[in-house]
Amino acid sequence: MITIIDYGSGNLRSAAKAFERAVRERGLEHTVVVTSDPDVVARADRIVLPGVGAFRDCQVGLNNLDGMWDALQEAVVTRAMPFMGICVGMQLMASRSLEYGETDGFGWIPGEVTALKPNDPSLKIPHMGWNELNLQSDHILLDGLKNGDHIYFVHSYHVAAHDQKDVLATVDYGGTVTAIIGKDNMVGTQFHPEKSQEAGLRLIGNFLTWKP
């Protein structure tokens, strides 16, 4: 069972459709469930946490689902179930965000969520649209992806990881921007794989068959 967490922040329909398509294309028998029930999340085989908007709003939304924060810690950290965070869902994996003050994240990947500051003043914030992937790792989740693959972003902040080994891929947007992070049984994408066509479906498919 793949659970996509509904906490009032995320492109749930688009995400669910992309995961369902990847299941079909890989010939898998996975069930995709969108849920706000922490008991369902605690039993999940794979967990997806989408997120759009401000970090603090997303953190509050999760905390407002009684038991969800603890269910995620139990499933992801204790049981080591495969986890994917998307956009702000990825940012929540970090230690804290500096967006509108300081807000704690899960602390699964040490680092801060910091504002994009492109060195080219003509580049607009938020960073919105297509960009080219720069792979920094040979992680199995990147199988079939290549440098230059186009992926779709909508964001103003990104994860500044303390350990560069946790950065699996970047893009250039007036400087280096974290695109994918990963550690142990966890992976996060700052871009939206559900909107990134072939490259995004490839990554989702790899996640569905990943055995960390």
Q: What is the pLDDT of residue 8?
A: 84
| CA torsion through residues 142, 156, 15, 42, sign | positive
Are 133 and 177 in contact by the 8 Å Cβ rule? The answer is no
Q: What is the pLDDT of residue 46?
A: 96
Q: What is the pLDDT of residue 208?
A: 96
Helices (H) and strands (E) in the chain, counts: 6, 14
Q: What is the pLDDT of residue 211?
A: 94
Q: What is the pLDDT of residue 73?
A: 93
Mean pLDDT of successive 10-residue stretches along the chain, which has 212 residues? 89 91 94 95 94 92 93 94 97 96 96 96 95 97 97 97 97 98 98 96 97 93
pTM summary value: 0.95
Q: What is the pLDDT of residue 10?
A: 72
Kindly list the catalytic residues.
87, 192, 194
